[in-house]
Amino acid sequence: MEEKHPWRGIFLSIISALSLSLVYIFSKGALNEMSLWQFGFYWFFIALVENAILFFVYGLHRKFLQLKRRQRLLIMLIAVFELIGTISFFAAIQLYRNPTVVSFLANTVPITVGILSYIFLRERFNFFEALGIVITIIGAMIIGYQSTVLKEVEHIGLGLLLVVVFVVMFSVNSILARVSLRNSHPLMITFFRSILLFVFSFFMIIYKKESFDVPWQGLKNIILGATFGPVLGVITAFAALKYVEATISSTIVNAKGFLIMLLVYLYFSIAPETYQIYGGLLAVLGVGIMSYGKHLKIKKSLHE
């Protein structure tokens, strides 16, 4: 790590957080104009083109064929889980009036990963990790409960179910990728994930007899969100790790809920609720403390 330019790492982390925030804003704007499957068809078409270019430019198609059959099958399994999780994620954004709620609830993914690691990998928590988990869960409970009381989501049960599904799917995939895919590139998963999501959305449009014709405003949101959101967000997140520790970078990125809150107000004229601020602060604080605990654990293991 290059310690001479920490502010460069912080700047890149902020750019990453802003880029990932745009996913929530532009996807919500597009989903207000069209169905989930129309949205998925165009959003994942752009994602597929972008990922395909990187997949073949970096020669990952050859590296994929060189993997063991078990690893290739596992990549496809993870892509299926990503299909379920991603559809649930965007369905939740469509269902909730304010996407800020979804962004803060998504902060529970690192917590779920930690709990699953404890159950299946027997990884123990230190004090800071356990404290971070408790604080994040309290923040998520405040957000989840208050969002239903204030009717942020019309179908309460469905909204919470969608959040649970995408949190669990993304968490399970994190565990599978960490344990079994050490010799493969993350882009392999995103490439096949994009294929599945694009094809699935296409067949759902055909099945539901929906039109491929969508409003230009919605399509413009898709182009902006799919182009500048995930790709730039991931690239700058990895680049930031060259200059700052993962604890600092992840805490900044996980604080994107407050950026989303501001962008939602500017783009949709939806003012933040008090519970979103307090619950969001707890959620971000909890993830930050948990990241610090992981940092201490890694540092300790390197000195043993």
| Interior angle at CA 140, CA 234 and CA 28, nearest 5 | 50
Q: pLDDT tens across 20-57, in order?
A: 899 999 999 999 999 999 999 999 999 899 889 988 98
Structure-block tokens of residue 59: 């020669």
For 68, the enclosing helix (H) or strand (E) is none
What are the domain boundaries of the chain?
6-303
Distance CA 111, CA 113 (A): 5
Residue whose token pair is 């270019």: 53
In this predicted model, what pLDDT tens digit does every residue of 110-132 receive, in sequence order? 888 888 887 877 778 888 888 98
Using DSSP, state whether 1 is helix, strand or coil: coil
**pLDDT (mean) for 5-12:** 77
255 neighbors 277 (Cβ within 8 angstroms): no
Q: Tell me how many degrees the CA angle 218-143-126 measures, rounded to the nearest 5.
A: 115
Task: Name the residue with tokens 């933040």.
Answer: 272
Under the banding of pLDDT at 50, 70 and 90, the label for residue 181 is low
Output the pTM of the full model: 0.86
Q: Is the pLDDT of residue 2 over 60?
A: no
d(CA 138, CA 77): 32
Computed over every residue of the chain, the mean pLDDT equals 84
Give dist(CA 181, CA 166) in Å, integer. 21
